[in-house]
């Protein structure tokens, strides 16, 4: 594998070595700071405006009782959910694009978001379930859809374009099922389902924060531990196998991780569209670094989602425009640009 000319090998205790790219590291730090700054600005935004300085003071434990209630009980959980959902989608999208070796290999295109939506709709329409049951239904729907795509794409292994094509087909089928479920719902359940399907951070509280945080804490080290194998997979299965990478095992672990991240993010905030597609591509363009850019994609996803939610509230007012609408408009434009670029390059 060719080493990037700007990369530096750094040895850490235990005999391990890491390859660091100063530009990529700078981009990661700046994206992380941007995500945190947007989060602080979002906490101060709403019907009750709170200056940024007061938000910081309250987060440090020095605000008054009113500010403490607004910040810690109402807005901080929403922002944390936004950061975690954006990070999960950014990381999941980077994994899918790296495994499929295709910039269109994202959960939005492959049908995982639609599968999670189907699981939630089953609970809403057929069972009139609670919010917790809807979350569980979305998680199960995403996992079942991911398993179906993997099995249908299997033919002596799972390969990039076959995975994308199967995912597009499954997405079309599940989208039709979702439409059918909506036609069978009564007016109240249909309205509730449509709101959930838009993708929103409204009303999110600590009950959504802790499960998503726990899942990310488990999966992030697992994914990073397979980072070398993922970089090898980008060079092709034969090359990766010749270099000692257990191709199918690494691919399975990373795909299961990506499915879990995507399903959990969708369960927490609904199907927020296009973050998983755009975040890895934007991260790669900023770092100009080869490889999947997992950490940069994670930080980019968090920054994109929280910034989009802040922009929707500043322009349209709190609760008037779900964040999924903003990401859908921006991501749809990016997808058109990406398709034109790939066609001009002769890749599609």
Our CA dihedral for 16, 21, 24, 26, rounded to 10 degrees, sits at: 100
Q: Which position has the higher pLDDT, 335 or 302?
A: 302
Per-residue pLDDT at 59 exceeds 80: yes
Longest dimension (CA), the chain: 63
Helix (H, G, I), strand (E, B) or coil at 17: strand
CA–CA distances in Å: residue 197 to residues 106, 190, 309, 318, 323? 18, 10, 16, 19, 11
Looking up tokens 């959504």 gives: 208
Give the per-residue pLDDT at 159.
Answer: 64
Bridge partners of 11?
17
CA–CA distances in Å: residue 140 to residues 35, 96, 119, 126, 153? 29, 19, 6, 15, 20
Tens of pLDDT along 272-285? Answer: 888 888 899 889 88
- Output the 3-class SS for 61-91: CCCCHHHHHHHHHHHHHHHHHHHHHHHHHHH
- Are 247 and 76 a contacting pair, CB within 8 Å? no
Helix (H, G, I), strand (E, B) or coil at 203: coil
Q: Which position has the higher pLDDT, 117 or 236?
A: 117
Backbone angles phi, psi at 18, to 5 degrees: -120, 145
CA distance 336 to 332: 6
Residue 108 CA, chain-centre distance (Å), reads 10
Tens of pLDDT along 312-340? Answer: 887 776 667 788 888 888 877 877 887 78
Our CA dihedral for 20, 31, 325, 338, rounded to 10 degrees, sits at: -40
Looking up tokens 């399903």 gives: 263
Tens of pLDDT along 34-45? Answer: 999 999 999 988
Per-residue pLDDT at 296 exceeds 90: yes
The DSSP call for residue 122 is: I
Least confident interval from 24-38, 81-95, 100-114: 100-114
Domain segments of the chain as ranges: 19-345
Local confidence band at 199 (pLDDT 50, 70, 90 cut-offs) = confident
The number of helices, as runs of H, and strands, as runs of E, in the chain is 17, 2
Among 85, 141, 106, 133, which residue's Cα sits nearest to residue 265? 85
State both tokens at 263: 């399903």
Topology given in CATH for the domain delimited by 19-345? ABC transporter involved in vitamin B12 uptake, BtuC (1.10.3470)
Q: What is the mean pLDDT of residues 154-165?
A: 72
CA distance 219 to 153: 24
């Amino acid at each position: 594998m060719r080493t990037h000319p700007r990369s530096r090998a750094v040895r850490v205790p235990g005999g391990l070595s890491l390859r660091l790219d100063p530009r990529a590291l700078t981009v990661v730090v700046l994206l992380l700071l941007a995500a945190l700054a947007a989060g602080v600005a979002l906490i101060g935004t709403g019907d009750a405006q709170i200056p940024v300085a007061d938000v910081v003071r309250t987060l440090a434990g020095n605000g008054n009782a009113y500010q403490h209630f607004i910040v810690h009980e109402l807005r901080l959980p929403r922002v944390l959910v936004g950061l975690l959902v954006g990070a999960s989608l950014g990381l999941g999208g980077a994994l899918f694009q790296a495994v499929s070796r295709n910039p269109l290999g994202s959960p939005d295109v492959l049908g995982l978001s639609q599968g999670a939506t189907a699981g939630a709709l089953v609970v809403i329409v057929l069972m009139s379930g609670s919010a917790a049951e809807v979350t569980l239904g979305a998680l199960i729907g995403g996992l079942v859809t991911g398993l179906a795509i993997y099995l249908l794409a299997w033919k002596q292994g799972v390969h990039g374009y076959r995975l994308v094509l199967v995912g597009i087909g499954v997405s079309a089928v599940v989208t039709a099922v979702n439409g059918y479920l909506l036609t069978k719902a009564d007016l109240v359940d249909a309205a509730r389902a449509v709101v959930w399907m838009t993708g929103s951070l409204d009303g999110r509280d600590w009950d959504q924060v802790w499960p998503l945080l726990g899942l990310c804490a488990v999966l992030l080290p697992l994914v990073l531990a397979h980072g070398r194998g993922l970089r090898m997979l980008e060079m092709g299965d034969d090359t990766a196998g010749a270099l000692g990478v257990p191709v199918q095992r690494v691919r399975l672990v990373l795909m299961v991780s990506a499915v879990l991240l995507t399903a959990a993010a969708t369960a927490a905030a609904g199907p927020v569209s296009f973050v998983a597609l755009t975040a890895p591509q934007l991260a790669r363009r900023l770092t100009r670094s080869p490889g999947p850019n997992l950490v940069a994609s994670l930080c980019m996803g968090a920054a994109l989602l929280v910034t989009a939610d802040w922009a929707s509230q500043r322009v349209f007012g709190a609760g008037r425009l779900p964040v999924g609408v903003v990401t859908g408009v921006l991501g749809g434009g990016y997808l058109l640009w990406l398709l034109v670029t790939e066609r001009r390059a002769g890749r599609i």
